[in-house]
C-alpha cells in the first residue's frame, strides 16, 4: 500500500513512516519542514502528491494547548482548514482511505463516578477552586468527591480549549467526507504520546518533553497542580503501530470510526516526572501548585475497542519506556504544526 503521511518528518509522523516501511508498505512523506511547498492548506500541492496513493495518514497538525487564545486563528487554519483542503484533494483524486491523528482532548474531563449519583460529568473547573488548590472536580449534583475511571469512545464530547475544539472539528470534517464520498475514515484518539524525537523547549510540546528538557539542563521538573492528575502515557512506537493496524484493517465505507489509543495503564503526572528524574539521575521533581486554564484533571483511556477490533496491543511498558526516553535524544525546537 502506498501511504501519504502528512507531517511525516515530525515526532509521531516519522515513527509512522518507519512502521509502515517495516510492515512492507510504501510511505510517502508530505511535510512542510522537508519541503516548504508541502503544506496541507495547499490544494495544488496535494493534487500533485496524491496520484498513485492508496491511503493517507494525516499526522500534520498544530499541537498542544498553546500559549493563549491569540493562537486560535492559527490552530483553526492549520488543523481545520488544512484538513478540509486535504479532504477536498482526496475527493478529487479518488483516495478513499484516511487515518487521522485524533486526540483524547475531545472528551474534556474523563469519566467520573459519584457514590450517590453514578456516572457524572463535571463542568470546567473554577478559577477560585484552582487557586485554592482544590484541583479535583466535585460531583455537579451533590458536591462530593468523585472517582475517576476510564473513558470510552462513546462518551460525550466536550472540548475544553481551542486545540481540543479543532481536533473535534477534524473528526467531523472527516466524517462528512466519508459520508459524501463513500470513503473510510479512522480517528486514533491519541493519549499522552512520548518517546524518542519529541521536540524540546517549545510551549507546544507535551509534558513529558517539558520534564525531559528540564532534566537535560540539570533542573528539577516542575509539576503543575499537585501532581496527582491522571493520564495515559503511550509510547510513540505503539502509536505508530496503531496507525499501521488501522490502515491494514478492513475499511468501513461511508463512516468515521474512533479508537482510543492509550497504554491502558493510568499514571499520574507526578509518577511520570519521578520516573524520568530517577532514570536521568537528575533532581527530584518540584510540585508547584500552578495550573493552566483549559487543562483537565483526569483523562485516561479505555482502549478495548482498538484491541478487540484491530488486534493492536501496546508493546512498551511504562517503566521501560521512561528509561528509554530518559536516554533518547530530543528534537530541536520545531514548528508547532509538526507533531
Q: State residue 294's pLDDT score.
A: 78
User: What is the pLDDT, as a whole number, of residue 179?
Assistant: 98
C-alpha distances in Å from residue 235, one per residue of 40, 163, 183, 253, 262: 26, 21, 29, 30, 9
* Domain membership of residue 306 as a residue range: 2-110+151-327
Kindly give the residue spans of alpha helices, DSSP state H, lying in 196-249. 207-216, 236-248
- Give me the tens of pLDDT residue by residue for the chain, a chain 339 residues long: 999 999 999 999 999 999 999 999 999 999 998 888 899 999 999 999 999 999 999 999 998 766 678 899 999 999 999 999 999 999 999 999 999 999 999 999 999 999 999 999 998 899 999 999 999 999 999 999 999 999 999 999 999 889 999 999 999 999 999 999 999 999 999 999 999 999 886 666 788 999 999 999 999 999 999 999 999 999 999 999 999 999 999 999 999 999 999 999 999 999 999 999 999 999 999 999 999 887 899 999 899 999 999 999 999 999 999 999 999 878 775 554 445
Q: What is the Cα gyration radius of the chain?
A: 19
What are the φ/ψ torsions at residue 249 (nearest 5 degrees)?
A: -75, 160
Query: How many Å apart are CA 191 and CA 302, to the nearest integer?
Result: 10
- pTM summary value: 0.94
Instruction: Answer yes or no: is 139 within a domain.
Output: no
- Quote the CA–CA distance of 87 and 82 in Å, as a whole number: 9
- For the chain, the domain total comes to 1
Residues in contact with 134: Cβ distance below 8 Å, sequence separation at least 6, in sequence order: none
Question: How far is Cα 206 from Cα 63, in angstroms, rounded to an integer?
Answer: 9
- Does residue 136 belong to any structural domain of this protein? no
CATH number of the domain to which 192 belongs: 3.40.50.720
Whether 317 maps to a domain, the answer reads yes
Q: Which of 237, 86, 75 is CA-nearest to residue 173?
A: 86
Q: Is residue 115 part of a domain?
A: no
**Torsions phi, psi for 300 (to 5 deg):** -135, 150
Q: Is position 311 within any domain? A: yes
| Alpha carbons 178 and 254: distance in angstroms, whole number | 5
User: Which grid coordinates are listed for 79?
Assistant: 488543523
Contact call for residues 16 and 38 (beta carbons, < 8 A):
no
The predicted pLDDT at position 270 comes to 97
Which residues touch 43 (CB under 8 Å, ≥6 apart)?
A: 85, 88, 89
Supply the residues annotated as catalytic: 163
Q: For residue 146, is it within any domain?
A: no
Is 301 among the domain residues?
Answer: yes
**Which residues make beta-bridge pairs with 183?**
none
Give the pLDDT confidence score for residue 27 in this predicted structure: 98
Query: Is 337 contained in some domain?
Result: no
Amino acid at each position: 500500500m502506498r501511504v501519504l503521511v502528512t507531517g511525516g518528518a515530525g515526532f509521531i509522523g516519522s515513527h509512522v513512516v518507519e512502521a509502515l516501511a517495516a510492515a512492507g508498505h510504501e510511505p510517502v512523506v508530505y511535510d512542510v519542514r522537508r519541503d516548504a511547498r508541502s503544506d496541507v492548506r495547499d490544494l495544488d500541492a496535494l493534487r500533485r502528491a496524491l496520484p498513485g496513493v492508496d491511503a493517507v495518514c494525516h499526522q500534520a497538525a498544530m499541537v498542544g494547548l498553546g500559549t493563549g487564545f491569540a493562537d486560535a486563528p492559527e490552530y483553526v487554519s492549520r488543523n481545520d482548514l488544512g484538513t478540509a483542503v486535504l479532504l477536498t484533494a482526496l475527493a478529487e483524486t479518488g483516495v478513499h482511505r484516511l487515518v487521522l491523528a485524533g486526540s483524547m482532548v475531545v472528551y474534556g474531563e474523563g469519566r467520573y463516578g459519584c457514590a450517590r449519583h453514578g456516572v457524572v460529568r463535571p463542568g470546567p473547573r473554577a478559577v477560585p477552586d484552582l487557586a485554592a488548590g482544590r484541583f479535583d472536580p466535585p460531583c455537579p449534583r451533590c458536591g462530593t468527591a468523585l472517582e475517576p475511571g476510564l473513558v470510552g469512545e462513546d462518551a460525550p464530547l466536550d472540548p475544553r480549549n481551542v486545540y481540543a475544539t479543532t481536533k473535534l472539528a477534524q473528526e467531523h470534517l472527516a466524517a462528512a467526507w466519508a459520508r459524501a464520498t463513500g470513503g473510510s475514515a479512522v480517528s486514533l484518539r491519541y493519549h499522552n504520546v512520548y518517546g524518542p524525537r519529541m521536540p524540546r523547549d517549545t510551549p507546544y510540546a507535551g509534558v513529558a518533553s517539558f520534564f525531559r528538557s528540564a532534566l537535560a539542563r540539570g533542573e528539577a521538573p516542575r509539576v503543575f497542580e499537585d501532581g496527582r492528575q491522571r493520564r495515559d502515557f503511550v509510547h510513540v512506537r505503539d502509536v505508530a503501530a496503531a496507525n499501521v493496524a488501522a490502515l491494514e484493517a478492513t475499511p468501513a465505507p461511508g463512516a468515521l470510526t474512533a479508537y482510543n489509543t492509550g497504554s491502558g495503564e493510568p499514571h499520574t503526572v507526578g509518577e511520570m516526572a519521578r520516573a524520568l528524574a530517577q532514570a536521568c539521575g537528575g533532581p527530584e521533581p518540584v510540585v508547584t501548585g500552578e495550573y493552566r486554564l483549559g487543562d483537565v484533571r483526569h483523562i485516561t483511556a479505555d482502549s478495548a475497542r482498538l484491541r478487540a477490533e484491530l488486534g493492536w496491543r501496546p508493546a512498551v511498558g511504562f517503566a521501560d519506556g521512561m528509561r528509554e526516553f530518559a536516554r533518547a535524544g530530543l528534537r530541536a525546537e520545531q514548528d508547532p504544526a509538526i507533531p
